[in-house]
Structure 1
Amino acid sequence: MTTTDGFAVVRTSGEFKLVAQRDFPAGSRLFGVDGQITEEPTRYSVQVGAGIHLDLPGGHAPEELMDRFFWRFTNHSCAPNAQLRGRAFFALRPIEPWQEITFHYESTEFEMAEPFDCRCGDATCFGRIQGFKFRTDDERELLRPMLADHLLAMLNVVHR
C-alpha cells in the first residue's frame, strides 16, 4: 500500500485501486492530474481536452508512479463517485474512508486506446467501454452530468 494526501493505492486480488483515507464531501476537490501531454490515448492516459491526453512519463521508479501519479489507479465504474473537471477530480457524492475512487471513463475519453468489458456490476452498466464516440444519444445524455468540458461541448453542438 502506498499513501499520498488522503489517498492510498492498494492491491487486492491482483488489481490496483485508489481508495480514500478520509471523508470527502460531495463536490470537494479530490486531487489534481499531471503528466506528459500527448495527442494519442494510451492504456494509462486520461483525456483532458479535445485531442489532449495526460500520460505517465517514462523513466520513473514504481514508487514515484504510485506517489506522484497515483491518479493512474483511478478505475472505471458506470456508477462512479468522482468526475474529472479540467485537470482535477471532484467527488460526485460523499466518499468515505477506504471507499474506492472511480470515474466513468467514457465521461472523458472520446475513443479508448484499449476498450474493455466493464465488470462494475451496477444495474446501469454500459457493458463494453469503448469511448464516448460509440455511445447512443440516450447513453450520452445519461453521461451529461459528469462529462468533461471537451465532450460536453461536443454534445451541445450535436443537440443544437
Structure 2
Amino acid sequence: MIRIRQAGTADAREIDAMVRELAAHENSLEHVQVDATGWQRQLARPDVVVLLAEDDDEAVGFASTTRRLHLWSGGDLLALDDLYVRPERRDRGVGAQLMTAVARLAAADDLLVVWGVRLDNSAGQRFYARLGATLSTKMTAAWAPEGYRRHLAATSR
C-alpha cells in the first residue's frame, strides 16, 4: 500500500539519494550541487513541499514543488520541479498517486501547476496528457553565472 506524505527535514538523506538517482538517469549528476544538509534546509522552507511516496516505510518516489509568485495573475502558482519513481516501482500507479497529491496541494488554494517535461520523454508526455495536463512546446533557457558574468564583463568595457 503506497502512502504519500510531506517530507520533513528527517527525510533529507532519502530525498538526496533519489534526486541523485534521477540526475544519474538523466545524465545530469554533475549538475546536482545540493547535499543532504542542503535538503534539510530546503525542506524547512515554507515555499518548498516535497511529497514522499512510501511502501511499508520504504521510499519509492517523490514529487518536489515550490510555491512561487506568478506575476501575470498577481497570485501564486505551484511549480513541480521533479516527479520521480524508483525504476523497480514504475508502472504501478505511484507516479499517478504522487500527481494526485500534487493536485490536492494545489487545489487547497486553486493554484495553477506548471512543470517541464523533456521533448524526448514521450512516455512522460503521454502520462501527463492522460492526467489532463495541457502540453505545449516551449524552450527553457538557463543563464548560468559563468554565462552572465561573461556578458557583464563584455558590456562593462
TM over 0.5: no
Highest relative contact order (Cα 8 Å, sep 6+), 1 or 2?
1
TM-score normalised by length of structure 2? 0.28
Higher helix share: 2
Larger Rg: 2
